Chains A and B, each alone.
Chain A
Amino acid sequence: MEKKLLLGDEALALGALHAGLSGVYAYPGTPSTEITEFIQAHPLAQERGVHSRWCTNEKTAMEAALGMSYAGKRALVCMKHVGMNVCADAFVNSAVTGVNGGIVVVAADDPSMHSSQNEQDSRFYAKFAMVPVFEPATQQEVYDMMADAFAFSEKVGLPVVMRMVTRLAHSRAAVAVADKAAEPNALHPSEDRGWVLLPAIARRQYVKLIDKQKTLVEASEQSVYNRLVEPKVGAGAGSEDKPLQIVACGIAWNYVMEALQRGGVSARVLKVSQYPLPAAQLKALDEQGGEVLVVEDGQPVVEELLHAELSDKCTVIGRLTGALPRTGELTPDNVAAALGIAMPEGLPASDVLAARPPQLCPGCGHRDVYTALNKVMEEYPQGRVFGDIGCYTLGALPPFKTLASCVDMGASITMAKGAADAGVFPAVAIIGDSTFTHSGMTGLLDAANENTPITVVISDNLTKAMTGGQDSAGTSKFEAICIALGVPAEHVHVVVPLPANMEEITRIIREEINYKGVSVIIPRRECMQTLRRHLAKKK
């Protein structure tokens, strides 16, 4: 066994490749992006022809993976947590159809919203769909779990959710990896009628899904990733008859162990890294009774469940009771505090600090787009510019402060439409090239069908810049897409966002705002980051 220094995301990717992966389907999103990038760059993936091209969005990714599974092969789907919302239709129904080749759905959650709009916890989605979840604590577990997750997926005929969090996805450690990879499955398309979810078949499939739940609980009880660790004898306060009981989920295990190794508190710890919750181990907690502290990153999923699972001999505490903060990620500090373990004091916080928010790069084309928009919008104090997801969301901050909203992928166009329907004038949308193909096209079709008076700016930097410069699905197709969706050709403009072209750009924005229908302006100039890399490559 060789040891490699790997990010959690990289350990996941290598684990999947070594498990005989045939395809990864993904849309980039922090903190999940590095998984697919690692597979794209790996020689084994190239040698075996593992599919790894980026998908247009998470829904197309989930469905393509389901097709690969139908054909009998192992497929990986990767996304950030909010991607689960986009693929939810396919994801939830994939539990009803079941799988043929194994499917692992990676949902990379982002507690504390380092690069996100919310703190939603993907374990809720798995529970909703009634599928198993693997939630690793360490980089080694991430790697080891992939082979088990694919095998388990095929054994129970269900997709398995692999829940990652930012701190594990983006933290590096040494990982012992196998010397050789398992062979990919042979092609064997399913013969099962269960894939046709007509009501009569779906009802039968749904009963099958319900019947599988008992097997899933038993598997969790026997899982090597779930274990009940008894306290060391005489380990100090609380070690009398009833030591504190802790349920530590996924990465929370690390923080609990970090705190306990300082000594002074003795606890009985149930490590949970495979769901549904292991009933037998919960029963053991219940038999002892007393306080049960739930430590979990993200939302209080397990804490809520334990209120129903444990009897009144136990008092469940956690994020809902204030034992841990209700929002934000776990840290070694807030976990130690919840355990009543004193940590050393550091230096006092400095009082000369200024915040340093991220900003658009010098020379970035989005800057010129916002300069132009601001110049024109000054003339319309009642007007609004609706924003979207990407680097250009930074246009909400000083010095531009252009944006009225940023909600989800594609919402700029549809919110501008709704606002225009309500009478807002001018209603302008700004959306990036990749976000437009991800979820903006259907909204533009709505607006074109009603000829709603909105102006849509597709700020095209020829890449997915925010996540590090991946290929953008619609590059070189935007004018054709907009015209095909019903935007009149004479109201589709392409400009080059540069200070020298400011007069032309502002003139076109002004004209199109005053056109009583849908118009599209496409400022197009390469991202400064990818340009720098392209120039360096040429040298």
Chain B
Amino acid sequence: MKKDIILCGVGGQGILSISTVIGEAATKEGLTLKQAEVHGMSQRGGDVQSNLRLSDGEIFSDLIPLGCADLIISMEPMEALRYLPYLSKDGVVITSSKPYVNIPNYPADEALEAALQALPKLVRADIETLAREAGNPKGANMVLLGMAAAHIGVVSTDDLRAALGRIFARKGEAIVEANRKCFDLGLGVK
């Protein structure tokens, strides 16, 4: 039993918090984990990704091989497409639907839409709007985690919800609740 997940987005969007929560839940369940992160220059508004590998056995490579990822979880729609060669043929893409445009040559709406439509399995939502609706504009990444929860499999939705509580606990109960609300909204996105 294994799950290979690519988390991606633009530097500063908070993908590492998502993998921290998944990692916490997995560790608690006794799973093995490896998580390769990006630090340094690429964090400055450039594309960023993290490879998260979960297994009930030994994990050798810190990096996910091509064609082996079960999930791509992306804070940005074009960034989700950057890692498609890593996604297995029946893999799932879970993404924010809202482009983050900080480059002059961002693809046209129609081209991006066509590429997303062509994916075998796609779950997407305007996570920023949902987070604002939950009264927690900073919680878009937790909405996305909620959307991914059912697809992560090796840890249950309840495990993730509990892990989220432990990760945010030191920031106070109000922050935990605000993030849970975002997570729950994400669960409702099909």
B183 is an interface residue with CB less than 8 A from chain A? no
Given contacts A347-B84, A358-B46, 6 further A-B contacts (CB under 8 A): A114-B42, A171-B34, A172-B23, A254-B60, A347-B89, A361-B44
Are the CB atoms of A349 and B65 closer together than 8 Å?
no
Nearest A residue to B12, CB-CB: A361
Interface contact A115-B37, CB-CB below 8 Å: no
Contact of B84 (CB < 8 Å), options: A255, A257, A348, A468: A348
A-B CB contact pairs (8 Å), 18 listed: A33-B39, A170-B36, A171-B35, A174-B32, A174-B33, A255-B60, A261-B60, A331-B63, A332-B61, A344-B65, A344-B67, A346-B89, A349-B85, A353-B78, A355-B47, A358-B11, A360-B44, A394-B44
Among B33, B45, B112, point to the contact of A352 (Cβ < 8 A): B112
B103 adjacent to A172 (CB under 8 Å): no
Q: Does A333 contact B (CB under 8 A)?
A: yes
Residue-by-residue, is B64-90 near A (CB-CB < 8 Å gives 1, otherwise 0)? 111111000000001101101111110
Q: Which residues of A contact B46 (CB under 8 A)?
A: 356-359
Given A343-B65, A347-B84, A31 and B39 touching (CB < 8 A)?
yes
A261 to B2, CA, bound (A): 14
List chain B residues, Cβ under 8 A from A7: 37
- State A354–B79 Cα separation when bound (angstroms): 9
Tell whether, in the assembled complex, residue A359 and residue B44 are in contact, meaning their CB atoms are under 8 Å apart: yes
Tell whether A90 is near chain B: CB-to-CB under 8 Å: no
Does A345 reach chain B (CB closer than 8 Å)?
Answer: yes
Q: A167-B63, A258-B61 are in contact. Are A358 and B42 (CB under 8 A)?
A: yes
Contacts of A172 in B (CB 8 A): 23, 33-37
- Asked if A382 CB lies within 8 Å of chain B CBs, one says no
Taking the nearest CB of chain B, how far is it from the CB of A333, in angstroms? 5
On chain B, the residues within 8 Å of A466 by CB distance are 40-41
- The distance in angstroms between the C-alpha atoms of A30 and B40, with both chains bound, is 6
Instruction: Among A345, A353, A398, A468, find the residue whose CB has the most chain B CB atoms closer than 10 A.
Output: A353
Chain A residues with Cβ below 8 Å from B64 are: 332
User: Is B10 interfacial (CB-CB < 8 Å)?
Assistant: yes
**B115 x A170 contact (CB < 8 A):** no
Q: How many A-B residue pairs have CB under 8 A?
A: 157
A336 contacts B by Cβ under 8 Å:
yes
A201 at interface by CB-CB < 8 Å: no
Write the nearest CB–CB distance from B63 to chain A, whole angstroms: 6
Q: How far is the CB of A467 from chain B (nearest CB, A)?
A: 7
Q: Does B153 contact A (CB under 8 A)?
A: no
With a 10 A CB-CB cut-off, give which of B61, B88, B102, B105 has the most chain A CB atoms: B61
Candidates B10, B33, B45, B119; contact of A173 at CB < 8 Å: B33
Chain A CB within 8 A of B165 CB: no
Residue in B45, B69, B87, B105 with the greatest tally of chain A CB atoms within 10 Å: B45
Q: How far is the CA of A405 from the CA of B28 in the complex (A)?
A: 50
The residue in B23, B43, B63, B120 that gathers the most chain A C-beta atoms within 10 A of its C-beta is B63
Interface centre among B23, B62, B106 (most CB of A within 10 A): B62
Counting CB contacts under 8 A, is A34 at the interface?
yes
State A345–B38 Cα separation when bound (angstroms): 25
Tell me, rounded to whole Å, the shortest Cβ–Cβ distance linking A61 to chain B: 20
A476 CB–B CB distance under 8 Å: no
Given A255-B60, A350-B82, A356-B47, verify A173-B34 contact (CB < 8 Å).
Answer: yes
B34 to A: closest C-beta gap in Å: 5
Question: Is A391 on the interface with B (CB-CB < 8 A)?
Answer: yes
A5 touching B27 by the CB < 8 A rule?
yes
Task: Type the 1/0 row for A514-525, where 1 means its CB is closer than 8 Å to any CB of B.
Answer: 000000000000
Query: Do A467 and B40 have beta carbons less than 8 Å apart?
Result: yes
B107 lies within 8 A of chain A by Cβ: yes
Does B174 reach chain A (CB closer than 8 Å)? no
Q: Is the CB of B43 within 8 A of A168?
A: no
User: In chain A between 1 and 38, which residues have their CB closer than 8 angstroms to a CB of chain B?
Assistant: 5, 7, 30-31, 33-34
Interface residues of A in 329-374 (CB under 8 A from B): 331-333, 336, 343-361
Indicate with 1 or 0, residue by residue over B119-136, a CB within 8 angstroms of chain A CB atoms.
110000000000000000
For residue A344, which residues in chain B have a CB less than 8 angstroms away from its CB? Answer: 65-68, 88-89
Which 7 pairs across A and B sit closest by C-beta, in order of nearness? A346-B67, A30-B40, A358-B46, A115-B40, A344-B67, A350-B81, A358-B44
B91 at the interface (CB under 8 A from A): yes
Out of A30, A336, A351, name the residue touching B39 (CB < 8 Å): A30
Question: Is B111's CB within 8 Å of the partner chain A?
Answer: yes
Select from chain B the residue with minimum beta-carbon distance to A8: B62
Provide the A234-271 mask, 1 if CB < 8 A to any CB of B, else 0.
00000000000000000101110110010000000000
Assess whether A115 is in contact with B41, with CB atoms less than 8 Å apart: yes
The residue in chain B whose Cβ has the minimal distance to the Cβ of A344 is: B67
Contact residues in B for A251 (Cβ distance below 8 Å): 62
Measured between beta carbons, the chain A residues less than 8 angstroms from B47 are: 355-356
B61 touching A352, Cβ below 8 Å:
no
The answer on a CB contact under 8 Å between B43 and A358 is yes
Q: Are B82 and A353 in contact (CB under 8 A)?
A: yes
In the complex, chain B residues whose CB is within 8 Å of the CB of A360: 44
Decide yes or no: A34 and B39 within 8 Å by CB, A5-B33, A356-B102, A358-B44 being known contacts: yes
CA distance A173 to B11 in the complex (A): 22
Instruction: List B129-170 residues whose CB lies under 8 Å from chain A.
Output: none
- List B contacts of A347 (CB < 8 A): 84-85, 87, 89, 91, 119-120
B62: chain A residues within 8 A (beta carbon): 167-168, 171, 173, 251, 254
Q: Which residues of B contact A391 (CB under 8 A)?
A: 44
In the complex, chain A residues whose CB is within 8 Å of the CB of B107: 352-354
Say whether A346 contacts B11, CB under 8 Å: no
Contacts of A352 in B (CB 8 A): 78, 81, 107, 111-112, 114-115
Q: Which residues of B contact A257 (CB under 8 A)?
A: 60-61
Contact B61 A348 (CB under 8 A): no
Which residue of B is nearest A260, CB measured? B60
**With a CB–CB cut-off of 8 A, which chain A residues contact B39?**
30-31, 33-34, 115, 170, 468
Q: Which residue of A lies closest to B19 (CB)?
A: A172
A255 to B82, CA, bound (A): 23
A354 pairs with B103, CB closer than 8 A: yes
A residues less than 8 Å from B69 (CB atoms): 346
